[in-house]
Amino acid sequence: MGNRYRICVIGAEVNNIEQRHMLSGIIEEAQKKNAVILVLSNLYNHLDPLRNDSADNRIYELISHIKVDAFIMLSESFVNTAVREGIHDLLKKRTDVPVVIAGTALPGSEPELFTAFNTSDQRDMEAIVDKLLEENNFTSISLLAGPFSLEPSQRRINGYRSSLDRHGIHYNESFVYEGDFWYSSGEKLAGRYISGELPYPQALVCANDYMAFGVLDAFAAAGVDITEHMALVGYEYIPERSLHRPLLTTYQRNRKSLGAKVIDFLVRKLSGEDAVFSPPQGIFISGQTCHCDGSEDRLQAELTFLRTRDQYAYWGLKSDMESRLTECRNYDEFVSAMGEELFIVRNARDIVLCLFENWFKENEEHSDTLICRNINKYSRREDIVLKVSEIDKLAEYFPGMAVIYFNPIFFRERLLGYCAVMYDRPDTYDDTYRHWMKSVSNGLEFLRLKTDIDFLLQCSTFSASYDGLTGLFSAEGMRTAFQLMKNTDRPVGITAVAFRIVFNKDVFASENISKEMISSLVATAKTLSRFCGGGGIAGRISESELLLVCPADTVGAELLADAVHSEIVFSKAYSAGNSGSKLLYCGKSYCGEKVTFSSITDDMTAFFDSAQKGIEDKKSSPYYKELEELRREVMHYPLQKYSLDEVGSSLGLSPNYFNRLYKQLYGISFCQDQISSRLRLAKHLLLSTDDNVSVVAEKCEYTDSKYFLRQFTASAGLTPRQYRAAIKVCLE
């Protein structure tokens, strides 16, 4: 970096033409002075005062942190008064560095704190009227000003009047019309001329080009050649004038020179040299609406600018970056997809995404750490880790850049980080970049949601009656189906079985873990749907709860709940996705005449909440994590042989202490839990195969079928044959 000064420019929507002109002078002069420009700008610059604290404007929070040698505020770029006042307050606190205003001084600002540099509206307007009076010999000149209440309008009126006075022409206020700085007021005034309500002056000066465009458009629409009636001169020079006929003669405020003069002043001041400032003189831009000798012809440059802008806009329209970003499975793919579309951001050398370390956590305050990665695949670097207060250090990692633009990356009102656009020349991004950034923001949110299990669970319902994720009824669909079930002639008893899948939310889930969690829910739902025979209905009643309701004459509630649970545990899909979840289940019987759907769901939810609280309370128990892993292994591998001595020794515990801990946690001894697991396998085999009881006993590694029969009957309350017959009534 050497001794390069870092100068921070604060603007709003800096791709607008006025800001582009100013920045071109700032950046070009800074290159000559071996300084680097850092720009803080919003993207949309909302006028609505209620949007002053939008995520778009949170970019200006960096004013408090960024380490620079000086600030320049482009005051006229801020259309939102509240935003402008907020920045004013932030800059007042930066007493460590000089702050200057480029443009109109801020209302209420202290001159000793903020030195304001500007072109002179009054002098510019005097120059326009002087030329019309002296070179064109006009004596009847009208002015279409802006709102009379605004200071810039009054300065332009004063310049108009001053020129008339110096030339001995009486100032007539009836020749000065109030406008609104937009097309509409130009169209309105033109209509008054065309209709004959107002006599034509020899020349009409408009206080900005937009109003002049309105005049031209109204004359063209009426089929009247304006040049046969009066001359027309605009002000502030908008390059889009080639879109209107005839070509407007206008006057350019020399914003580029203003930007250069501000940099020259600051660098001299920082270097301890004397610095003076004089407002730069503007220039005439030739056109067809006034014959003003000596005007500069810029039509070819304007057409080149418009063609280039339209070309990039076309490329942006044709780009499939937005859809490609939504397909990305991880951040590496995301950055690569962005890099492929870097060419759409005109002349940008590189772009760096600076995301908060926790950008993907929706309900957290953003971290003060930024993870920064550039997207140019030909100059890809490793991630740069910076504190928010160190964001200016990016200039050290990209030393060849003339300017770095910092913009907010946000989705709705949630700030995700910042985007740094890098140029090695005096240039500015355009409107295409704003659309490009919108695609990036949407893509980041899409990437975040792919790993957000809660969102995927909440948003899987695509109709009022059915759940799109599981294929079962939705809660509303279940409510309707339940009412239809009660209205039939079946017995009034109701059997209800519910399951809740408890996900581990301690950490941000990776994509693979999210898929496993979703697969656990889908696998549970698929098994549940098999038990809807005999008039049963099944649905997803909340994010992670599933409910099966059957007429009570089919099978008992506890027996059915245990059977469904056994089938879920041994389904391949659930086994593959249960590492991050715990399955709770409950079965209850109800009297159908009094029971309502809400009373069933309330009962189940209360049971699960209590059970889940019990689980949370047990997490503080010694060896909880190790015992949970062991029990999951026992459940899914029931034929695995364990001994108390071996298991206790692996944990450094005596057999008795291990068994006591296990029973305290699960309400069952370790040996009895192994037996329950083998019997659960037997129940699964009875329902999923046609094997006879002796074969099932053998597959469960019982050497004595009578012993198996006694254990099974004691556990289920039915013999294996009775169990198979009872449960298969519910199977479809």
* CB neighbourhood size of 370 (10 A): 25
Is pLDDT at 512 greater than 50 in this prediction? no
- pLDDT at residue number 732: 62
Residues 501 and 361 in one domain: no
- If asked whether residues 519 and 434 sit together in one domain, one would say no
- Which of 317-326, 538-547, 702-711 is predicted with the least confidence, judged by mean pLDDT? 317-326
CA atoms within 13 A on the CB side of 375: 26
Residue 641 domain-assigned (yes or no): yes
Residue 287 lies in a domain: no
**pLDDT score, position 134:** 94
Give the pLDDT band (50/70/90) at residue 507.
very low
327 with 357, same domain: the answer is yes
Residue 111's pLDDT is 60
Interval 227-250: pLDDT, tens: 999 999 999 888 888 889 999 999
CA atoms within a 13 Å half-sphere pointing along the CA-CB vector of 308 = 13
Q: Judge whether 65 and 389 are in contact, CB under 8 Å.
A: yes
584 and 508 within one domain = yes
Tell me the H-state helices in 246-369. Answer: 255-270, 299-318, 321-327, 331-340
Highest averaged pLDDT of the listed ranges 293-307, 398-412, 494-508: 398-412
Range of the domain at 533: 456-612
Residue 350 counted as domain residue = yes
Which of 200, 234, 252 corresponds to the end of one domain? 252
Is residue 168 in a domain? yes
The CATH number of whichever domain residue 163 belongs to comes to 3.40.50.2300
DSSP letter at 116? E
Tell me what pLDDT residue 234 has.
96
Among the listed residues 625, 722, 645, 630, the one whose alpha carbon sits nearest the alpha carbon of residue 677: 630
Pairing state between β 114-117 and 99-102: parallel
CA angle 712, 718, 724 (to 5 degrees): 90
CATH code for position 419: 3.30.450.40
> The domain that contains 555 carries what CATH number?
3.30.70.270
Q: Give the count of domains, the chain.
A: 5
Q: Are residues 559 and 647 in the same domain?
A: no
Residue 258 confidence class, pLDDT cut points 50, 70, 90: very high
Query: Which of 109-118, 343-352, 500-509 shows the lowest mean pLDDT across its residues?
Result: 500-509
Cis peptide leading into residue 408 (ω within 30°) = no
Query: What residues pair up with 285 in beta bridges, in sequence order?
Result: 250, 296
Give the pLDDT confidence score for residue 314 in this predicted structure.
Answer: 74
148 has a pLDDT exceeding 90: yes
**Separation of alpha carbons 238 and 227, rounded Å:** 20
What H or E segment, with its residue span, contains residue 9?
A: strand 5-12
Tokens 């070009």 sit on residue: 28
Same-domain pairing of 464 and 364: no
| 298 within a domain of the structure (yes/no) | no
Pairing between strand 403-411 and 35-42? Answer: parallel
Does the structure show a pLDDT above 70 at 12?
yes
CA distance 324 to 443: 9
Q: Say whether both 213 and 330 belong to one domain.
A: no
The C-alpha atoms of residue 530 and residue 730 are separated, in whole angstroms, by: 8
- Average pLDDT of the residues of the chain: 88
Q: What is residue 432's predicted lDDT score, i.e. its pLDDT?
A: 85
**Residue 454 banded pLDDT, cuts 50, 70, 90:** low
Give the domain-ending residue among 583, 612, 641.
Answer: 612
How sure is the predictor about 341, in pLDDT bands with cuts at 50, 70 and 90? confident
pLDDT above 50: residue 509: no
Token pair belonging to 660: 């006591």
Same domain flag for 413 and 334: yes
Asked if 29 and 125 sit in the same domain, the reply is: no
DSSP state of 510: P
pLDDT at 621 over 90: no
- Asked whether residue 300 is assigned to any structural domain, the reply reads no
- Domain stops at, among 401, 428, 450: 450
Q: Is the residue at 291 inside a domain?
A: no
The confidence score (pLDDT) of residue 388 equals 95
Query: Do both 532 and 602 map to the same domain?
Result: yes
Give the bridge partners for 551, in sequence order. 494
Are residues 645 and 720 part of one domain? yes
Say yes or no: 113 and 147 in one domain: no
Query: What radius of gyration, in Å, describes the C-alpha atoms of the chain?
Result: 38
Residue 471 lies in a domain: yes
Q: Average of pLDDT values for 208-226?
A: 96
